Amino acid sequence: MIRRKRTCWTAILIVCVLLISGCSIWPGQDDSANNKKVTLTLWYWNRSIDDKLIARAKEKFPNIELTAQKIGGDFKAKLKTTLAARSGEPDIVALNDWIMELFPSEDRFYNLYDLGAGDIESQYLPWKWKQGVTPSGQMIGFPMDTGPTALFYREDLFKEAGLPSDPEDVTRQINSWDAYAAAGEKIKEKFGGKVFLTDNIGSVYNQVLSQGAERYFRPDGSFIGMDSALVRTSWDTSIAFKEKGLLANADGWTPGWNAAMNNGEVASFVGAVWMKQVLQEAAPDTSGKWRVARAPGGDGNNGGSFLSILKSSEHPQEAFELVRWLQSPENQLEQYQTLNLFPSAPGVFDDPAMKEKEPFFGGQATGPVFAESAQEVPDAFFGERYPSVHNIITRRLNDVAKQNADPQQVWTDTVHRVERELQR
């Protein structure tokens, strides 16, 4: 009798568990049934890998059963939750430029050097490669695309304001942030304040910062300090732009930004290569009027992604072969053509496909401008606390730009907040 009761209770319990767990009844059954194919799961987001390339990968690696999952929504939050739960992790995962936030958890990833990444290191841009290597020397991210920066400007507006308008002249003459600001004052004068030099204060700060090497932290984790030359220069330049009235206060990723671009309210901005696509979608009416020159003050990088292999994967070697193939220089070149993802393998920069003329940019071939920029990006160390420090500063800069807060007072307050942040 007792035994029957126990079986009865066990049955009820199982039913309940199944109900709660959403009825994924027999996981892992497929594995034993199939003909010893290696199953690999890949997480990526829309437009980070071309679906056609994934289809080709399945043909290329007949021994791999590849499940490629496009993760929508907040990718980072989903990945972190999965890592925290320690179950349901993919084998391969795409990471964005927030890869440094995961450096403290480097033990959750395979060291790609152990899997043979060292052999092909020379094929990739060194600064990009280093961004995927943790301070202790473990390589957790394999280079995907990059985001070299350049100056996007309206040729017609520059010409009207009496500024150089040919990309090479612009590169040569507007070569520093001071020269850029001076150009902005000419534009302001010419158009009676109806056209602004650039979009917003945060973008100025970001771009000046992205051109330097020493940001907030040293590779040993120590804080450089708010009085580092780069931080001060970036801050002062942004404040100067605000005080000279060169900012349209149009924030990125808002309808207002799109409208400002489309209406010709903004004459230029420094942005990464992927802004080409953003701009084309935001400002279709201005097609043919934009050009791209090298950024004033130097070259930098915004964004770009990586592929990682999680420690939970049972088939790291196969996963690495797949990653290596997906991000081979030839395939990166193909992704540039299909998805506008800028290659991190400089070997393909001379390919004719990178030099195609673009009607939106008045027939200019912008590829070579970004290619040159990509080769000059400084080595920069970010550190896992980069985002929180960086956010505090850009947030406070916005108070100066939009609420006319006193820059000196905001600076003192920002220094205080950053110090507090670092004590946590």
> Which sign does the torsion angle of CA 75, 80, 86, 90 carry?
positive
Residue 48 in tokens: 């980070």
Q: Does 311 bind other proteins (CB under 8 A)?
A: no
112 vs 106: CA distance, rounded Å:
11
How far apart, in whole angstroms, are the C-alpha atoms of residue 148 and residue 374? Answer: 5
**Stretch of residues binding other proteins (CB under 8 A), selected from 138-146, 179-187, 274-282, 400-408:** 400-408
Judge residue 50's burial from the number of C-beta atoms within 10 Å of its C-beta, 0-12 exposed, 13-18 middle, 19 or more buried.
Answer: middle
Residues 378/214, Cβ–Cβ less than 8 Å: no
**Where does this chain touch other proteins (CB under 8 A) — which range of 78-86, 115-123, 166-174, 354-362?**
78-86
Note whether 77 binds other proteins by CB under 8 A: yes
**Closer of 229 and 259 to other proteins (Cβ):** 259
The Cα angle at residue 396 between residues 392 and 397, in degrees rounded to 5? 115
Pair of tokens at residue 305:
């992604």
Q: Does 255 bind other proteins (CB under 8 A)?
A: yes
Closest approach, Cβ 339 to other proteins, in A, equals 26
* Residue 345 makes contact with other proteins by CB under 8 A: no
Instruction: Please name the helix (run of DSSP H) or strand (run of DSSP E) that holds residue 221, with its range, or none.
Output: none
Q: How far is the CB of 392 from other proteins (least distance, A)?
A: 9
Among 216-224, 255-263, 288-296, 324-332, the segment contacting other proteins (CB under 8 A): 255-263
Measured from the CB atom, the residue of 19 and 33 that comes closer to other proteins is 19
The count of chain residues that interact with other proteins, using the rule CB under 8 A, is 34
By beta-carbon proximity to other proteins, the closer residue of 256 and 368 is 256
Told to check if 80 binds other proteins by CB under 8 A, we report yes
Q: Count other C-beta atoms under 10 Å from residue 128's C-beta.
A: 25
Q: How far is the CB of 20 from other proteins (least distance, A)?
A: 7
Cβ neighbourhood burial of 346 (10 Å; 0-12, 13-18, 19+) = middle
| Residue among 55, 395, 412, 422 that touches other proteins (CB under 8 A) | 395
Between CA 166 and CA 144 the distance in angstroms is 32
**51 versus 251: smaller Cβ distance to other proteins:** 251
Residue numbers at the binding site for other proteins (CB under 8 A): 12, 16, 19-20, 74, 77, 80-81, 83-84, 101-102, 104-105, 108, 249-250, 254-256, 259-260, 265, 387-388, 391, 395, 398-399, 402-403, 405, 420, 424
